[in-house]
Structure 1
């Protein structure tokens, strides 16, 4: 993959957290980042992950989540005394239970030039099921058989699983439900059947044995998945040249078919939780065969707004587009606080 380069198209974020209005009265937006991306006609559509939380109350932690009320999932806010000891502002354990301190949803941003975006005021997908009770995160969009298939991380007290929704116009959307149970995330669907099978990439979580890695699965109907196979994992240790992907890796946007094979963008994290972007190439007829991988990251957190934010030192992509003239633009979340864009250039 040495003949590919990622070149930033702007040294400033094209979208910032401050550009997004809260969707709930009394909430504030903590982050707008990690967008899925696609072209719909001549319009670029981004599905931003928007993390919101109730405005602070001194001495208390306010946790937004979905709870069943009279058998119906509804937005609720739990109030806890703030711990005296230092704590992670994103994930807290209170009364023996783990909570997220924000609730994420998916919000549409639209553009004609791919740089200047108008952001919808209302969510496109807001948590509405108990398996989404802690939020909807980090979508991917694949145009497949005339529809836009949206995979996303559905988070609940039982962990992160993978949800699926389908739209034809980004005005109405049908929730299909959870297609991979917890713990799993980073699902990217291939944009066509291969050997008459739907195929996807996913990232099972691990416990005491192994590290997070990219897997392949197939399906007859796009909903029920099997024949799960390990595809590739991080090569790095703390003291070797691949440390940048040594802690974890995961698939990015939907693969793009090229003359050489399926081009895959993926992220790697090092032991300090700094995230970078890289490429892999899979065989076009059998994507279980990895033909090539980046030896070094193609994009790392270098600019101030990529290094400082809600979660520092992160460039993370789950959305790219291919323009009609063949240009590929990669949209990436930066420090969980904004969105940048870079062009993938072949030299």
Structure 2
């Protein structure tokens, strides 16, 4: 049973999104969390923006004024020999990233049919603190007991941590600050308590030694996290041998918790696979994809801001099909309907 990409893909493009200010341009609208609210499908988009430059002789850097909460623009000379401008996404100094050339915020999009979306004009969540000064990215939405909890990556010069917010209506949002300190990202919450505890999939990033791999943590109250345990790691020469991390919020099935995750190979080609976790002990891996169920093949997945990428932050289970919303080429949003049988066919027990 094949994966069915929507004929309308991409369902959200950068030109569907109004910039947050007139001197900015939208570079991408992608990596959205997904939820159902009433009779609407909600996408919480990552919107990446950059200041509009009128000269190739300068590089414009968006920055958060931590005192006023406003975004200011710093102008650098493109000929400044202190900096490396070779990657258009960031500015480096002595081999270290010191500035980003764009800034991301989160924006709500709404749909009655799950395919045709209207993007709101104003940001829902905008960088607000020093630990979000470089932007907030890649949200995941988990509905727990009538509330929607949003985990997102918070970027700053201190690294990437994980922010937590909540909403009941996708119009008013309450922030809870950082739930996990840098360096961590790709965090999503399970949609119910298990044996009296809440669980989260995490992706810490060690720098001294080790690799960015998937872990699991637990909490009594969704705010205080501990008992961090290794879950699963990279597989050499595999589709997930280069990088990996959580994707969509886990869904309960008869076979176990099904968590979609992304993996990249040594050539930075991002695909989507799945892992099946024990219902009573989600730290136990039952099976894992030996091959991706979705690979970058369509034009909008292969070509874009960063080509060769499919990356999901949100999926909704409907009977025996998962509707997965995913960022394509770090630029646009797409949707695909994936029969559970196709996902089951990729799974195999992990070798000891």
TM-score after normalising by structure 2: 0.92
The question of whether the paired residues in 1 share the 8 Å contact of 2:321 and 2:340 is answered with: no
**2:3 equivalent to 1:9:** no
3-state SS of 2:300 partner: helix
1:4-36 C-alpha deviation (Å, 9 max, x unpaired): 863322373111111111011200001111110
The question of whether the paired residues in 2 share the 8 Å contact of 1:197 and 1:219 is answered with: yes
**2:45 equivalent to 1:51:** no
Corresponding residue for residue 333 of structure 1:
327
- Cα distance in structure 1, aligned partners of 2:148 and 2:316: 13
Corresponding residue for residue 320 of structure 1:
315
Sort the Cα spacing of 1:288 and 1:274 in 2 relative to 1 into closer, same or farther, 3 A.
Answer: same
Corresponding residue for residue 89 of structure 1:
88
The question of whether the paired residues in 1 share the 8 Å contact of 2:12 and 2:333 is answered with: yes
3-state SS of 1:229 partner: strand
The question of whether the paired residues in 2 share the 8 Å contact of 1:322 and 1:328 is answered with: yes
Post-superposition shift, 1:57? 3.2
When structure 1 is superposed on structure 2, of 79-88 and 215-224 the one drifting more is 79-88
Map 1:138-177 → 2, pairs under 5 A: 138-177=138-177
Post-superposition shift, 1:326? 5.2
The question of whether the paired residues in 2 share the 8 Å contact of 1:65 and 1:135 is answered with: no
The question of whether the paired residues in 2 share the 8 Å contact of 1:9 and 1:341 is answered with: yes
- Cα distance in structure 2, aligned partners of 1:57 and 1:205: 37
**2:339 equivalent to 1:345:** yes
- Cα distance in structure 2, aligned partners of 1:126 and 1:198: 27
Q: Number of paired residues? A: 336
- Cα distance in structure 2, aligned partners of 1:245 and 1:318: 17
Which of 278, 287, 303 does residue 283 from structure 1 map onto?
A: 278
Sort the Cα spacing of 1:97 and 1:344 in 2 relative to 1 into closer, same or farther, 3 A.
Answer: closer
Sort the Cα spacing of 1:300 and 1:93 in 2 relative to 1 into closer, same or farther, 3 A.
Answer: same
3-state SS of 1:288 partner: coil
- Cα distance in structure 1, aligned partners of 2:223 and 2:77: 42
Map 1:251-262 → 2, pairs under 5 A: 251-262=246-257
Post-superposition shift, 1:77? 1.1
1:33-76 C-alpha deviation (Å, 9 max, x unpaired): 1110000111000001000111013111111121223xx43311
Corresponding residue for residue 298 of structure 1:
293
Post-superposition shift, 1:232? 0.3
**2:182 equivalent to 1:185:** no
- Cα distance in structure 1, aligned partners of 2:72 and 2:148: 31
When structure 1 is superposed on structure 2, of 6-15 and 123-132 the one drifting more is 6-15
- Cα distance in structure 2, aligned partners of 1:9 and 1:140: 22
| Gap regions ≥5 residues in structure 2 | 342-352
Cα RMSD between the aligned structures? 1.6
The question of whether the paired residues in 2 share the 8 Å contact of 1:53 and 1:103 is answered with: yes
Corresponding residue for residue 79 of structure 1:
75
- Cα distance in structure 2, aligned partners of 1:153 and 1:134: 10
**2:254 equivalent to 1:265:** no
3-state SS of 1:18 partner: helix
The structure showing larger relative contact order (alpha-carbon pairs under 8 Å, at least 6 residues apart) is 1
The question of whether the paired residues in 2 share the 8 Å contact of 1:10 and 1:341 is answered with: no
Which of 58, 64, 78 does residue 60 from structure 1 map onto?
A: 58
- Cα distance in structure 2, aligned partners of 1:97 and 1:291: 39
3-state SS of 2:61 partner: strand
- Cα distance in structure 2, aligned partners of 1:86 and 1:74: 25
- Cα distance in structure 1, aligned partners of 2:2 and 2:114: 19
- Cα distance in structure 2, aligned partners of 1:5 and 1:345: 7
The question of whether the paired residues in 1 share the 8 Å contact of 2:9 and 2:335 is answered with: no
| Gap regions ≥5 residues in structure 1 | none
Post-superposition shift, 1:211? 1.5
